[in-house]
Amino acid sequence: MKRKLTAAIGIAGMMVSVAACGGGSKAEGSGQGADAKELTVWLTVDAQNNWPELVKAADAAVKKKHPGITIKHEYYGWPDKNTKLDAVLATDKAPDVVEMGNTEMLGYMVKGAFAPLEPSEFDNADAWLDGLKASVTYEGKTYGVPYYAGGRVANWRKDIAKQSGITSPPTTYDELTAALDKIQKEQGGKFNAWYQPTRDWYAAMSFVYDAGGAIAKEEGGQWKATLSSPESVKGLGEFKNVIDTYMNGDKTKDESDRYIVYGQGKSAMIFAAAWEGATAADPKNDKTGKLKDNLENFVMPGPSGKNMPVFLGGSDLAVPVKSDAQAVAAEWINAFTGPSGQKGLMAKGNLPNNKTDLATLKSDPATAVPATAAESNWFVPMAPGWGQVEKAQILQTMLQNIGTGKQSVEAAAKEADAAIDKVINTK
């Protein structure tokens, strides 16, 4: 998932030692390429700009075990990374470690581009967050290691809530809608009590999963779309209710500029990636001059009575099947993503890849909201044709038709199911 790394979680002053990153207790490198003399690691510029010391610590751990090894790093931006990766994978010059957005993994796993890995060789593998574990798993095999995560939270303006007599964030969905009803009445019909872009399928599918539905399910080795199931329709119906009741903006928009719209001051709340509230409050985006001290994150409550399940974005690390240093590559990944590495990543404002470390963030008031929200999560169907579903924007089209009233929930869901079923099992 492509992310903007702003101080979304806001861990301040945490001091982390990374000198012993990884520890070398696992991924011992007894397989193919265990005696490699050179390792090439591709990461995105996030690592280069935000935590270069963690990269150096992983290098040091591997060099200590393999004296004389040369480790080369190349850094890429999200927009051009995959184009360059595709080109090099067609040659015999493949890198040994590559960073992937977790939604990008599936297409490469289906094509056999990555080498299978043994989870037991990686620290905390038995505690990987469910959504992240799903992103590196295909047909029962593991093809990557979760690196870090980014969750979704609700964020609202305390000043606007206070104008309606509300002094604390809601903890239930009934409390949320009651508060939004008051805000909408107070602010007037052109205001968005909840700015929720209609085409934002990440938010919409959270309603679906909260209601017990799913995008698709696997039965007997075949995937079948289930958006028209009673449970999914219930979730989609509540999403439509949100759009109809609190979203008074353009109902054909997606979420790409949500933080910009939020910064314009005509909305009281968003349900979004954790970085979006902080980015809206950046002076470059805050057109009100009031957001910095008035925004508050809270765990999004679901209509089911439980916390809303959220899409868990993040990055994974994989080893190309053409790598000549697969064993040492696995060692480097374990050094980078192991216990010390996770502490370093958390100190930079990221969610960890595992439930054990996530629990430590829940106990800190500064990080409790995103950590708690991330506990309940979902991920896309790991079906061979899922990439074609995304490329065709089937979910976005369905949601726009629902939000604009072009189709009923039932009709739009049934049509989306038919479109998904045509491609979801196609490699």
Q: Do the Cβ atoms of 373 and 149 come closer than 8 Å?
A: no
My answer on whether 300 and 317 are in the same domain is no
**pLDDT for res 422:** 98
My answer on whether 325 and 276 are in the same domain is no
My answer on whether 326 and 391 are in the same domain is no
**pLDDT for res 14:** 28
**Residue 209 within a domain:** yes
DSSP code of 294?
T
**Residue 96 within a domain:** yes
Q: Do the Cβ atoms of 286 and 292 come closer than 8 Å?
A: yes
**pLDDT for res 31:** 59
My answer on whether 195 and 138 are in the same domain is no
Model pTM? 0.89
**Residue 179 within a domain:** yes
**pLDDT for res 9:** 33
**Residue 8 within a domain:** no
My answer on whether 372 and 414 are in the same domain is no
My answer on whether 267 and 394 are in the same domain is yes
Instruction: Read off the CATH number of the domain in which 162 is found.
Output: 3.40.190.10
b/e 156-180 (16+ beta carbons within 10 angstroms → b): bbbebbeebebeebbeebeebbebb
My answer on whether 257 and 389 are in the same domain is yes
Structure-token match 């029962």, residue found:
140
Burial class (CB in 10 A: 0-12, 13-18, 19+), 9: buried
**Residue 352 within a domain:** yes
Q: Do the Cβ atoms of 401 and 210 come closer than 8 Å?
A: no
Structure-token match 């968003």, residue found:
270
**How many distinct structural domains can be found in the chain?**
2
DSSP code of 300?
P
**Residue 317 within a domain:** yes
**pLDDT for res 364:** 87
What is the amino acid identity at position 287? K
My answer on whether 169 and 261 are in the same domain is yes
Rg (CA), the chain: 22
Q: How many CB atoms lie within 10 A of CB 423?
A: 17
pLDDT one digit per residue (tens) for the chain, 427 residues: 444 333 333 322 222 333 333 333 354 444 576 788 999 999 999 999 999 999 999 999 999 999 999 999 999 999 889 999 999 999 988 999 999 999 999 999 999 999 999 999 999 999 999 999 999 999 999 999 999 998 899 999 999 999 999 999 999 999 999 999 999 999 999 999 999 999 999 999 999 999 999 999 999 999 999 999 999 999 999 999 999 999 999 999 999 999 999 999 999 999 999 999 999 999 999 999 999 999 999 999 999 999 999 999 999 999 999 999 999 999 999 999 999 999 999 999 899 999 999 999 998 888 999 999 999 999 999 999 999 999 999 999 999 999 999 999 999 999 999 999 999 999 8
Cα–Cα distance measured from residue 273 to residue 208, given in angstroms and rounded to the nearest whole number = 18
Tokens found for residue 153: 């939270």
My answer on whether 287 and 391 are in the same domain is yes
Cα–Cα distance measured from residue 240 to residue 198, given in angstroms and rounded to the nearest whole number = 8
Tokens found for residue 311: 């899409």
Q: Do the Cβ atoms of 310 and 373 come closer than 8 Å?
A: yes
**Residue 25 within a domain:** no
Q: How many CB atoms lie within 10 A of CB 386?
A: 23
Q: Do the Cβ atoms of 233 and 204 come closer than 8 Å?
A: no
My answer on whether 198 and 118 are in the same domain is no
My answer on whether 359 and 415 are in the same domain is no
My answer on whether 83 and 69 are in the same domain is yes
Domain span holding position 349: 38-150+312-378
